[in-house]
Structure 1
Amino acid sequence: MQSSLIVSSMTMLSRVMGLARDVLFARYLGAEASADAFYIAFKIPNFLRRLFAEGAFAQAFVPVLSEYRARGSHAAVRQFVDAIAGSLGSALIVITLLVVVAAPLVTAIFGMGFFLNNPEKFELTTSLLRITFPYLLLISLTGFAGAILNSYDRFAVPAFTPVLLNAVLIIAAVVVSPMLETPVYALAWGVVVAGVIQLLFQLPFLMRLGLLPHPRVDWGDESVRKVLKLMAPAMFGVSVGQINLLLDTILASFLPDGSITWLYFSDRLTELPLGVFGIGIATVVLPTLARQHIDDVTQFSKTLDWALRMILLIGLPAALALAVLAEPILFALFQYDNYRPEDVRMSSYSLRAYAIGLTAFMLIKVLASGFFSRQDTRTPVRVGVIAMVANMVLNLLFVVPLHYLWGIGHAGLALATSASAFLNAGLLFHLLRKQKAYCPQSGWGRFALRSLFANCMMVAVLLVGLTWASDMVTVAWHTRIAEVLGLCGAGMAIYLTCLWVSGLRLADLKA
């Protein structure tokens, strides 16, 4: 519980800084073509980061590292870390060089609509991608260092590291971008500088553990082969959500200018509770589950049960609040200068669609850990394939009618992603139960009734509050922020009060 709070608090700081960064992006870039170009150029290395850093790599690396630690030999752990560092680093260098050289081809894949319909936008995206893509190498090595620290229960440092990215990008947006003819270049270079700073920040903490890597490339090493064997299917299984988002980006490149930016800001607001609580809880329980799988199978199930309850306790009210307060939140945060009221309205459609799937996104993070901690990467892959195919089919079912009937095709992309996330989470849950890896503990009936009561009361308070709120288009920015904070505070207060009145106590939340 304490470790989860540490990770969540550090991640909260990072996400708040990220919101401040996005507010400045909205102010300086708006929802113009150059903004769409930057978000694609930034999203591509970030997507691969989920594979090579905190996603599939961490899911494969942490359980194997836990095995080496259990043997009690620090020298063996060092050799393992050195071999992985050399192999991962060399692979990333090759991938980075290939993508930088083949940037037009990569841009044509992920920004197909730019390639076919907007040559200037395509050229700008290609140039920005050549600058931002080396971030993959830097942030993946940072994620590697963070995975080691997490395995030794040093959660605070990796959780704090993303703050540095946001700080550098804020400086780039405010100080550097006004000096350039094309402001987005400042943000692209800021991404690379931030990657260097993030990596250097974590190295002293590895040194204290005596695990500062001395990379050696040895693809024949037994530990490297084992991690690769686990990582290959996990690369797909844990990243289905990100793959779906990139498919959305490809389709969105065919939609009107601004669609990618509307989706970006909607996704960023969804990522706040997902990153603070969903990823935070999953990060903490993965090494714990990996150890318990070896030592105590009963406790493994109890830990997973605790994580699922925590996700529902936090994720469901967050999803409902985002859906109800979509427009006020977007107005308060982003409607300045270049980001128009019409952009806010369009973003609100996709934000509500993403909010529908928020709880499922969070559940997937924990449920997937239930498999990866047992070194079972094949099952999430099979589930991931089903979910991705479903997402592609749903994209066609939702996007076409929403685009041609109401001009909100981007919301159809978000809705398809949410629907496929529920399918993904449901199948993972079913298979954990079928494999008898997870057995629900007692008290779920009482928990469900308390949650239903508290969430219904919270939504009622938020809806009543909206009837008293000002017209966000006409009031000053500080009034918008004050009213949104007031609504959020009132909703949280009534939610927590209802939980307490219904009998939930802090002692019930202990792992």
Structure 2
Amino acid sequence: MNRVKKLVSKANRQLTIQLAAFLLAGSSLLSSLLGLLRDRLLMSNYYDTYKTGIDAYTVAFVIPDFMFFLLVSGALSVTFIPVFSQRLATGNKKSAWELSSSLVNFMALITLAASLLIIIFAEPLVRFVAGPGLDETSRGLAVSMMRVIAVNPFLFAIASVVASMQQAIGRFTFFALAPTIYNLGIIFGITVLANGVNLFGFQLFEGGIMGVALGVVLGSIMQLIVSSVGLIGMGFDYDFKIRWKNRGFRKVLKLLPPRSFDQGIDYFNNIVETNLASRLGAGMVTAYQRATTLHMMPVTLIGVAISTAAFPRMSERLAAGRVDLFKSELRAVLRVIIWLALPTAVITFFTRGYIVSFIKNGGDLLIANILGVLAVAILFRSIYHIAARSFYARQDTRTPLYISIITITLNIFLAVVFVLRFGLGVYGLALAQALVSIVEVVILFLIMAIRMPGLFDTSFIHAVSRMVSASGLMGLISYVSVKLLDLSARDQSFFTTFPKFAVIVAISLISYLLICRLFKLEEPEPVIKKIASLAFGQFKPQAKVEP
């Protein structure tokens, strides 16, 4: 047992920002690849043959996910971590553990109540989400699956508190593993549970798409277990009480509502989009959600991974009163995110047909076109995560909330107008989201510039303008590469499309690195040096040893 504890403690040691970002990006990449496999299995099994069934599955997630985003999600980490870090920085571990235990218990109680309410009121909730878009059979299936998935907010809430504790002290290993485990559970549901469960000749479960919902719950349970393993070696002293008098706990509860409401209204936009998409025909809900998921993958890999890794250190800088270091690190992180997200958005736009073919053999023109519109949002959604966290690190959860209220209201207004007034169909939803992502970041940047003078200095603006120019030139190369390696009717499998995609991406990224170096940007230098050392390191001349 002691050996296991030592092994876990070693694996979960504190990491630097660079290593943490690399680990989180790597785990996000693995999770994204598993997500692609998950979606590919879902699309191949249900999209062409059972569009109403897969729409029902998509609808079933909406309310449980909404409750999780409203009550927990990012709201917890960005409000809990600064307060928890402050307690640890002053050596007050007792208060830190009391805060953690109280938060675990509090979140478990309110999310358990939310899960029970979802189970009880699943039928009217499905009617509210899908409106008249689903037929009676599909609506009944969505109700049944929603009741199964309703346990997710409870399981995710506990896992989120546990993961936030590890984040706060720079331990990311098991936090990074958790999403991967969740996807494995869903894949098990698609490949095994959907085929039915037999035990000694007795049919325990008939299978079908309901088996996928059971796989979702299995993934949630496994995710909680993996997150909890990361507590080994931290010295966490858990008790079953909610200590209402703990100042840190009261401070988190004070900070939580604005951020929770911010998350909630953000996800409420998804409810409106689902309702509108369900009115446009069978399969539209799934097509839009899959395109949204695909465009969020690079956002998770770049924006979420890097900002999540940087956030604890930024909070520590402010806790120590080092505003100068906070600003310089924020500026550096912003530059890296923009440098990575710009070419990613361009490549996604030009290779959208290939990307969609990874989740559906032969691709799908509708999903590809939706992804093309959403490609613009990749850059701005990636920037948003670190921009918003710059406010949360200052324990300001209200400013991002007010901005979200404005932008989500605008998003809903534009979505309704584009779909119902201008008849743009599902593309109207994507266009509204892309436009609003730009508006949101512009507003955040304006406020950041006012509150943190000198953040966007001349060197920063010049660097970003050079990144834009480099991405534009790379875009021309990407376009030519796509035309030369165009998808044909014979490209119906992953093994025929991926090599072409890999070549296009490689040519685009190599050209981007070289153009950035030509433009004297500092970001590509570590990458180029690493590639050079890996490629030519073995040919280095050995130093002569004097006799």
State the TM-score bracket (shorter-chain normalisation): over 0.9
Q: Summarize deviations over 1:66-108 as a string: whole Å, max 9, x none.
A: 1111220221211111111111111111111111111112212
Q: Does 2:221 match 1:201?
A: no
Partner in structure 2 of residue 98 of structure 1: 117
Which segments of 5 or more consecutive residues in structure 1 lack a partner in the other structure? none
Asked if structure 1 preserves the Cα contact closer than 8 Å seen for 2:173 and 2:230, the reply is no
Matched residue of 2:94: which SS? helix
CA separation in 2, counterparts of 1:481 and 1:2? 29
2:209 to 184, 205, 209: 184
Matched residue of 2:281: which SS? coil
Between 130-139 and 218-227, the greater mean CA deviation after superposition? 218-227
2:327 is matched by which residue type in structure 1? S
**CA distance 1:10–1:335, shift in 2 (3 Å):** closer
Percent identity (aligned): 22
Q: Summarize deviations over 1:272-303 as a string: whole Å, max 9, x none.
A: 11111111112112212211122201111112
Q: Summarize deviations over 1:197-232 as a string: whole Å, max 9, x none.
A: 111112222131011633323455433332121110
Q: Does 2:303 match 1:278?
A: yes
How large is the Cα RMSD of the aligned pairs? 2.1
Asked if structure 2 preserves the Cα contact closer than 8 Å seen for 1:10 and 1:156, the reply is no
Residue 371 of structure 1: CA displacement? Answer: 0.9
Q: Does 2:491 match 1:491?
A: no
CA separation in 2, counterparts of 1:504 and 1:240? 38
1:432 to 428, 440, 448: 448
Partner in structure 2 of residue 388 of structure 1: 408
Partner in structure 2 of residue 145 of structure 1: 162
Q: Does 2:107 match 1:65?
A: no
Residue 436 of structure 1: CA displacement? Answer: 2.4
CA separation in 2, counterparts of 1:47 and 1:100? 14
1:300 is matched by which residue type in structure 2? F
Q: Give the paired residue count.
A: 498
2:45 to 28, 40, 49: 28
Partner in structure 2 of residue 448 of structure 1: 464
Residue 25 of structure 1: CA displacement? Answer: 1.1
Asked if structure 1 preserves the Cα contact closer than 8 Å seen for 2:116 and 2:150, the reply is no
Asked if structure 1 preserves the Cα contact closer than 8 Å seen for 2:516 and 2:524, the reply is no
Which segments of 5 or more consecutive residues in structure 2 lack a partner in the other structure? 1-17, 197-204, 528-547
Partner in structure 2 of residue 422 of structure 1: 438
1:78 to 97, 107, 112: 97
**CA distance 1:213–1:255, shift in 2 (3 Å):** farther
CA separation in 1, counterparts of 2:71 and 2:375? 27
Residue 236 of structure 1: CA displacement? Answer: 2.7
Partner in structure 2 of residue 326 of structure 1: 352
**CA distance 1:13–1:471, shift in 2 (3 Å):** closer
1:27 is matched by which residue type in structure 2? S
1:362 to 382, 390, 394: 382
1:237 is matched by which residue type in structure 2? D
Asked which structure has the greater CA Rg, the reply is 2
Alignment TM-score, normalising by the size of structure 1: 0.92
Asked if structure 2 preserves the Cα contact closer than 8 Å seen for 1:85 and 1:216, the reply is no
2:331 to 302, 305, 314: 305
Q: Does 2:138 match 1:121?
A: yes
CA separation in 1, counterparts of 2:23 and 2:457? 26
Between 266-275 and 431-440, the greater mean CA deviation after superposition? 431-440
CA separation in 2, counterparts of 1:438 and 1:239? 33
CA separation in 1, counterparts of 2:478 and 2:421? 31
2:302 is matched by which residue type in structure 1? F
Alignment TM-score, normalising by the size of structure 2: 0.86
CA separation in 1, counterparts of 2:447 and 2:518? 35
Partner in structure 1 of residue 12 of structure 2: none
CA separation in 1, counterparts of 2:115 and 2:374? 31
Q: Does 2:27 match 1:10?
A: yes
**CA distance 1:360–1:238, shift in 2 (3 Å):** farther
Between 22-31 and 128-137, the greater mean CA deviation after superposition? 22-31
1:268 to 293, 302, 306: 293
Asked if structure 2 preserves the Cα contact closer than 8 Å seen for 1:472 and 1:480, the reply is no
Matched residue of 1:161: which SS? helix
**CA distance 1:241–1:91, shift in 2 (3 Å):** closer
Residue 401 of structure 1: CA displacement? Answer: 5.3
**CA distance 1:281–1:94, shift in 2 (3 Å):** same
CA separation in 2, counterparts of 1:239 and 1:484? 37
Q: Does 2:56 match 1:40?
A: no
Matched residue of 2:116: which SS? helix
Asked if structure 2 preserves the Cα contact closer than 8 Å seen for 1:465 and 1:487, the reply is yes
Asked if structure 2 preserves the Cα contact closer than 8 Å seen for 1:49 and 1:55, the reply is no
Between 477-486 and 184-193, the greater mean CA deviation after superposition? 477-486
Q: Summarize deviations over 1:298-334 as a string: whole Å, max 9, x none.
A: 1111121112111211111111111111122212x13
**CA distance 1:174–1:473, shift in 2 (3 Å):** farther
2:391 to 357, 367, 371: 371
Partner in structure 1 of residue 534 of structure 2: none
CA separation in 1, counterparts of 2:360 and 2:488? 9
Q: Summarize deviations over 1:346-405 as a string: whole Å, max 9, x none.
A: 1122111211111111111111101111111111111111101111221133223563xx
CA separation in 2, counterparts of 1:496 and 1:43? 40
Residue 506 of structure 1: CA displacement? Answer: 5.0
2:519 to 493, 502, 508: 502
Asked if structure 1 preserves the Cα contact closer than 8 Å seen for 2:193 and 2:214, the reply is no
Asked if structure 1 preserves the Cα contact closer than 8 Å seen for 2:105 and 2:242, the reply is yes
1:105 is matched by which residue type in structure 2? P
CA separation in 2, counterparts of 1:415 and 1:226? 39
**CA distance 1:220–1:100, shift in 2 (3 Å):** farther
CA separation in 2, counterparts of 1:428 and 1:239? 19
CA separation in 2, counterparts of 1:122 and 1:437? 53
Residue 412 of structure 1: CA displacement? Answer: 0.8
Q: Does 2:180 match 1:154?
A: no
2:413 is matched by which residue type in structure 1? V
Asked if structure 2 preserves the Cα contact closer than 8 Å seen for 1:42 and 1:129, the reply is yes
Asked if structure 1 preserves the Cα contact closer than 8 Å seen for 2:82 and 2:312, the reply is yes
Q: Does 2:73 match 1:54?
A: yes
Asked if structure 2 preserves the Cα contact closer than 8 Å seen for 1:50 and 1:239, the reply is yes
CA separation in 2, counterparts of 1:442 and 1:18? 40
Q: Summarize deviations over 1:206-263 as a string: whole Å, max 9, x none.
A: 1310116333234554333321211101113345543322321121121111111111
**CA distance 1:3–1:111, shift in 2 (3 Å):** same
Q: Summarize deviations over 1:155-191 as a string: whole Å, max 9, x none.
A: 2221221000111211221222233766211110011
CA separation in 2, counterparts of 1:118 and 1:306? 51
